[in-house]
Amino acid sequence: MKIKKYVARDFKTAIQRAKEEMGRDAIILHTRQVKKGGILGLLYPPRVEITVVVDDKLQVNTDRLRSGNTTGVPAAVKPEIAASIDTISAINSSENSSREDEVLQEIQKMKNLMTDIKSRMYEVEVIKGMPEQVQQFYETLINNNVDRDIALKVINSVATRLPKDGISDDAWARDVCLHTLQEVIQQVQPIQVKAERKGMIVFLVGPTGVGKTTTIAKLAANLTFLDSKSVALITLDTYRVSAAEQLRTFAEIIGIPISVVFTPTDLMLAIEQYREKDLIFVDTAGRSPYNSEQMEELREFVNIARPDETILVMSVTTDNNDLINIYQRFQSIGVDKLIFTKLDEAYNYGSILNALYEIKKPIAYFTTGQNVPDDIEVPDALRLAQRLLRRDEVL
Ligand SMILES: Nc1nc2c(ncn2[C@@H]2O[C@H](COP(=O)(O)OP(=O)(O)OP(=O)(O)O)[C@@H](O)[C@H]2O)c(=O)[nH]1
Ligand SMILES: [Mg+2]
């Protein structure tokens, strides 16, 4: 039996040395930190000491130890410290590797930050080279909550459309910018009721509380009274009694029929019943886009009804990235158009542009307040573009 102590700066070095001298079968009996005493202790960092043993008999015992049989382990070798050098090295290196992971993550963060700074510097350079008016557009867009990358793309496009040798006409530059913004906004497509098509089905889907039911009431009232269309309502929102009651009250005031539906079969029957109406609105319960069970249930209703239009309703008070996440979740059930609600509660309309830049679906309506049926409008792309270029805070 050979016992030896190794002192080193750190555990890894001590083990390495022990392994070289005593071989891989060596067993660590004991480890401790050693510090020089007295005043010198303050000057020197602590070191580690490991006590290592090589013994044939002990090797057999540790083998037993590894297979779970601790009988026969010599009293001097406490089971908890009798581990082979290789095991300790493995533990030690796994500790190291998690630390390495942390370091790598930090490096990645730094890299991302550098890329971000570089792209910002590039952005500043690009913008500096642009005409004064265009630089102002950029600032205004950012102040209106337009995403930096999107604002940069917009003004890049504006700059390429303006003459290189400077622009004297502010109004012209502004028109070019408005036109570019309208291209991002793309199409506006309110619901078109076709005379020859009866029983058109329109689903309104979306997260909770965004204004689906209120919007259906506004649309149903306007289509009934202003456009003389025959409208019926179906609600799938059977989770809460008050929800069905809310729509029933609207239906009674407008004087149109309503069905409360619990199952896909009931839905088919209700649709059949309203076959001769111009338009059937289907109100759905607010869904958390992250609740896959709720989404699955909604998908079942959509699959069986095969709506002519599925409109996703989202509030502009929702965070930019959330709007895109919500769309991505609902996209799986099929989304044809968008309605943005609560424009009256938004400080600016940048989030609409940001969402449309990614989503690329037509907008059907904006809603601008709680009043039924007045607070709804067909979006005007030019007006939205003008609002995005307004420099004052008031919308
Ligand atoms: N400020 C403002 N409030 C609105 C607008 N549209 C709806 N609301 C309000 O938002 C709240 C929720 O409206 P609902 O129509 O019940 O919303 P919902 O999407 O049907 O809600 P759930 O069925 O619970 O998912 C109500 O207080 C509405 O009056 C709007 O354009 N502006
Ligand atoms: Mg509702």
| Residue range 197-219, pLDDT digits in tens | 899 999 999 999 999 999 999 99
Residue 327 scores a pLDDT above 80: yes
pTM of the model: 0.71
Residue 68 scores a pLDDT above 70: no
The Cα 316–Cα 207 span in angstroms is 12
| Start-end of H helices in the chain | 11-22, 40-43, 56-66, 85-128, 132-143, 148-161, 170-185, 212-225, 241-254, 264-273, 292-305, 320-331, 350-359, 381-388
Please state the rounded mean pLDDT for residues 347-354.
90
Question: Which range is least confidently modeled, 24-33, 241-250, 344-353?
Answer: 24-33
Secondary structure element (H or E) that encloses residue 205, with its range? strand 200-205
Question: Is residue 280 classed exposed, middle or buried when 0-12, 13-18 and 19+ CB atoms within 10 A define those classes?
Answer: buried
CA 308 to chain centre: 29
Residue 259 scores a pLDDT above 70: yes
User: Token pair of 101, please?
Assistant: 């992971």
* Range among 49-58, 282-291, 355-364 rated most confident: 355-364
Please state the rounded mean pLDDT for residues 360-368.
94
Give the ligand 1 atom nearest the CA of 207: 25
Residue minimizing CA distance to atom 21 of ligand 1: 209
Confidence at 345, pLDDT banded by 50, 70, 90: very high
pLDDT at 63: 39
Tell me how far the alpha carbon of residue 216 lies from the centroid of ligand 2, in angstroms: 9
Tell me how far the alpha carbon of residue 233 lies from the centroid of ligand 2, in angstroms: 13
Higher model confidence: residue 231 or residue 187? 231
pLDDT at 132: 81
Residue minimizing CA distance to atom 7 of ligand 1: 211
Residue minimizing CA distance to atom 14 of ligand 1: 211
Tell me how far the alpha carbon of residue 239 lies from the centroid of ligand 2, in angstroms: 10
Tell me how far the alpha carbon of residue 264 lies from the centroid of ligand 2, in angstroms: 19
Please state the rounded mean pLDDT for residues 286-308.
89
The DSSP symbol for 343 reads G
Question: Is residue 289 classed exposed, middle or buried when 0-12, 13-18 and 19+ CB atoms within 10 A define those classes?
Answer: buried
Secondary structure element (H or E) that encloses residue 47, with its range? strand 47-54
In this predicted model, what pLDDT tens digit does every residue of 153-202 receive, in sequence order?
898 888 888 776 666 677 888 888 999 999 888 789 999 998 888 999 99
3-state DSSP of 135-162: HHHHHHHHHCCCCHHHHHHHHHHHHHHC
Please state the rounded mean pLDDT for residues 22-43.
72
Give the ligand 1 atom nearest the CA of 214: 15
pLDDT at 107: 81
Residue 284 scores a pLDDT above 60: yes
Q: Domain extents for the chain?
A: 2-97, 109-185, 200-379
In DSSP terms, 230 is beta-bridged to none
| Burial call 92-118: b when 16+ CB within 10 Å, e when fewer | eeeeeeeeeeeeeeeeeeeeeeeeeee
pLDDT at 166: 61
Give the ligand 1 atom nearest the CA of 345: 1
pLDDT at 69: 38
Q: Which of 239, 240, 370, 375 for mutating ligand 1's site (highest number of atoms within 8 Å of CB)? A: 370
pLDDT at 163: 75
Give the ligand 1 atom nearest the CA of 368: 31
To the nearest whole percent, how much of the chain has pLDDT over 90? Answer: 43
Confidence at 79, pLDDT banded by 50, 70, 90: very low
Tell me how far the alpha carbon of residue 380 lies from the centroid of ligand 2, in angstroms: 26
pLDDT at 66: 40
pLDDT at 104: 79
pLDDT at 173: 83
Residue minimizing CA distance to atom 26 of ligand 1: 211
Q: Look at residues 339, 295, 325, 318 and name the one whose alpha carbon lies nearest to residue 202.
A: 339
Higher model confidence: residue 324 or residue 92? 324
Task: Tell me the residues surrounding ligand 2 (ion) with CB < 5 Å.
Answer: 212-213
Nearest-Å Rg of the Cα atoms of the chain is: 35
Which ligand is closest to the CA of 286, given by its number?
1
Residue 38 scores a pLDDT above 70: no
User: Token pair of 136, please?
Assistant: 């102002």
Tell me how far the alpha carbon of residue 105 lies from the centroid of ligand 1, in angstroms: 43
Residue 98 scores a pLDDT above 90: no
Provide residues with CB under 6 Å of ligand 1.
208-214, 237, 243, 285-286, 341-342, 344-345, 367-370, 375
Please state the rounded mean pLDDT for residues 84-113.
69
pLDDT at 55: 67
Superfamily of segment(s) 200-379: P-loop containing nucleotide triphosphate hydrolases (3.40.50.300)
The Cα 86–Cα 89 span in angstroms is 5
Residue 82 CA: distances (Å) to CA of 26, 27, 63, 94, 250: 10, 6, 10, 19, 78
Residue 188 CA: distances (Å) to CA of 99, 208, 377: 53, 24, 11
Token look-up 């009804």 returns 305
pLDDT at 347: 83
Tell me how far the alpha carbon of residue 216 lies from the centroid of ligand 1, in angstroms: 10
pLDDT at 326: 94
Residue 270 scores a pLDDT above 90: yes
Cis peptide, bond prior to residue 207, ω within 30 of zero:
no
Question: Which range is least confidently modeled, 34-43, 79-88, 117-126, 216-225?
Answer: 79-88
pLDDT at 100: 73
Residue 302 scores a pLDDT above 70: yes
The Cα 4–Cα 30 span in angstroms is 11
Tell me how far the alpha carbon of residue 370 lies from the centroid of ligand 1, in angstroms: 7
Q: Which of 203, 214, 219, 236 for mutating ligand 1's site (highest number of atoms within 8 Å of CB)? A: 214
Residue 71 scores a pLDDT above 60: no
Q: What's the chain's average pLDDT?
A: 83
